[in-house]
Amino acid sequence: MRIYFDNASTTPLDPEVVKVMSQVLVEDFGNPSSIHYFGRKSKSIIENARKIVAKEINAAVNEIFFTSSASEANNTILKNAVKDLEVRHIISSPTEHPCVINSLNAIADKQLCKVTYLTVDHQGNIDLSQLEQLLASDSTKKMVSIMHGNNEIGTVVQLNKIGALCRQYDTLFHSDAVQTIGKYAVDVQAAKIDFLSATAHKFHGPKGIGFMYISNDHILSPYVHGGAQERNMRAGTENVVGIAGLAEALSIAAKHRSEVLSHIIDLRQKLKQALDAVFEDIKYNGNQDSDYLHHVLSVSFPPTPKADLLVMNLDIAGIAASSASACSAGIEEDSHVLKAIGHPEERKTIRFSFSKYNTEDEVNYLIEKLQTMTPLKK
């Protein structure tokens, strides 16, 4: 028996997405840059997908650009905003995804731009008053880069409040929305977002395809040079099958969002109630009462001789989950996110993340196996 509770890392392909992609692989092999029938057919698949993405986030069609990943999108947006828009100060948080943190480090190392990281509390919430103070006290060209939902601990920021502050202080706003696009409603106009990134494999689409939203008010130059694909924004023959899969997955996600969210909330609540009832000294990372990703539950287990082997023992039992730790020179330590929120190093964090394919029986099996691995309530 194999159970998958690591959907924040990646999700299985929806069977309907597989059908669409299989058809495109076989029938729609034309180069989208060709002017004959086969090329025009491939081009129409791309443009239809662009319309689907634009509608989902309330953007204009020509503001959507397909990329190989959200990592590429984040690199493009952050580095080219410094180069093309003369951004001289980027404000972010210490709990961002490594592709943002490392992009900002690369920018700072070359002394191209000042980078400031906001303070976060023990749940990973940014300090909005600190953000406003930084925005008000700096007259240089600024950008705020804050992820919508944290991939490790599930804390969600209030995009509209951040967007309003950015607009008030004439500041660009970028959000990594990898964990929320397809699962939650995102409106770039309402939130006053200038740049956004996402990837298909987080909402049951294929790997190797993502997109970025770039507002028409802020034109960036290409990150990859070559041909005129993606309206001269990203060179290289388009990944037509990946784009088709992304669009189909996003369409399915949008259509069934409410029912899937309800199902996932039930699973998360069932697991949380069982953990609280059965196990000793269970704690949770990230927000729990509001502003959290319903598909993510970051559980902090008490220190025991077996704690460091939890992920391995779960895998042996047929259960896939994620450890929020990194191993360097044979020594395990908390991730940068857990360090930022002050998580006690002696405790062990496991992230369980859900999808529409998980069931109550799987949650019950997880609880059953955990009872052999961690202290029970006396």
Q: How many residues does the chain have?
A: 378
Which of 7, 195, 176 lies closest to 97, judged by CA? 176
What is the crossing angle of helices 257-278 and 240-255, to 10°? 70
Q: Catalytic residue at 166? A: no
pLDDT at 376 over 80: no
Whether residue 249 contacts residue 182, with contact meaning beta carbons closer than 8 Å, is answered with yes
Residue 348 has phi, psi (to 5 degrees) of -115, 125
- DSSP-derived secondary structure for 4-53: E-BTTT--PPPHHHHHHHHHHHHH--S-TT--SHHHHHHHHHHHHHHHHH
Query: Averaged over 124-128, what is the pLDDT?
Result: 97
Of the listed 99, 113, 166, 327, which one is catalytic?
327
What's residue 232's pLDDT?
Answer: 87
List pLDDT tens digits, range 169-184.
999 999 999 999 999 9
3-state DSSP assignment of residue 255:
helix
What's residue 375's pLDDT?
Answer: 72
Distance (Å, rounded) from C-alpha 293 to C-alpha 299?
14
pLDDT at 328 over 70: no
Whether residue 181 contacts residue 50, with contact meaning beta carbons closer than 8 Å, is answered with no
Distance (Å, rounded) from C-alpha 30 to C-alpha 66?
18
Look at domain 15-255 and name its CATH class: alpha beta
List pLDDT tens digits, range 205-263.
999 999 999 999 998 999 889 998 999 889 999 999 999 999 999 999 999 999 999 99
Confidence bin at 290 (pLDDT 50/70/90) = very high
What's residue 378's pLDDT?
Answer: 58
The DSSP output letter for 120 is: B
Give percent above pLDDT 70 in the chain.
97
Least confident segment among 126-130, 222-226, 285-289: 222-226
pLDDT at 143 over 80: yes
What's residue 17's pLDDT?
Answer: 98
Distance (Å, rounded) from C-alpha 77 to C-alpha 3?
36
pLDDT at 63 over 80: yes
What's residue 327's pLDDT?
Answer: 41
Sole residue written with tokens 């706003």? 173
CA distances from 297 to 7, 54, 213, 288, 352 (A): 11, 30, 28, 9, 5
pLDDT at 302 over 80: yes
- DSSP-derived secondary structure for 138-167: --S-EEEE--SB-TTT-BB--HHHHHHHHH
The structure's pTM equals 0.95
3-state DSSP assignment of residue 180:
coil
- What residue ranges do the domains of the chain occupy? 3-11+256-370, 15-255
pLDDT at 332 over 70: no
What's residue 292's pLDDT?
Answer: 97
Strand partners, 298: 285, 351
What's residue 329's pLDDT?
Answer: 39
Distance (Å, rounded) from C-alpha 28 to C-alpha 41?
7
Sheet strand arrangement including 64-67: 64-67, 210-214, 195-199, 172-176, 142-145, 89-92, 114-117
What's residue 334's pLDDT?
Answer: 85
pLDDT at 68 over 80: yes
pLDDT at 330 over 60: no
Distance (Å, rounded) from C-alpha 280 to C-alpha 274?
11
What's residue 306's pLDDT?
Answer: 77
Distance (Å, rounded) from C-alpha 244 to C-alpha 283?
41
Distance (Å, rounded) from C-alpha 349 to C-alpha 179?
19
- Between strands 348-353 and 322-323, the pairing is antiparallel
**What CATH architecture applies to the domain 3-11+256-370?**
Alpha-Beta Complex (3.90)
Distance (Å, rounded) from C-alpha 222 to C-alpha 216?
15
Q: Which two tokens stand for residue 351?
A: 């992230």
What's residue 299's pLDDT?
Answer: 97
What's residue 129's pLDDT?
Answer: 97
3-state DSSP assignment of residue 226:
coil
